[in-house]
Amino acid sequence: MAKRGTSAVTVCSTAFLTLGRAQARALGDANLAIAVIPHPFGLRSREEVREIASKCVDELVDLITGAMK
């Protein structure tokens, strides 16, 4: 999507970050913006998920707008 001029961010858990970066490199986008969330995610309560999402919002905005590397 970024190659088409559309902002895009991949969200990846800590357990899959290495794989996500490797896939991005293999697909020709070594600088793909990746927002990282803690793992495991599926075992967390709704409140914990809300807290994680709240903490990730700023990172997502920064990644989408290019404010972070």
Predicted confidence at residue 22, as pLDDT, reads 96
Predicted confidence at residue 42, as pLDDT, reads 81
Percentage above 90 pLDDT, the chain:
38
pLDDT exceeds cutoff 80 at 46: yes
User: Could you list the residue range(s) of the whole structural domain that residue 61 is in?
Assistant: 2-65
The whole-angstrom separation of Cα 8 and Cα 16 is 18
Predicted confidence at residue 69, as pLDDT, reads 47
Strand partners, 11: 35
**Local structure of 10: helix, strand or coil:** strand
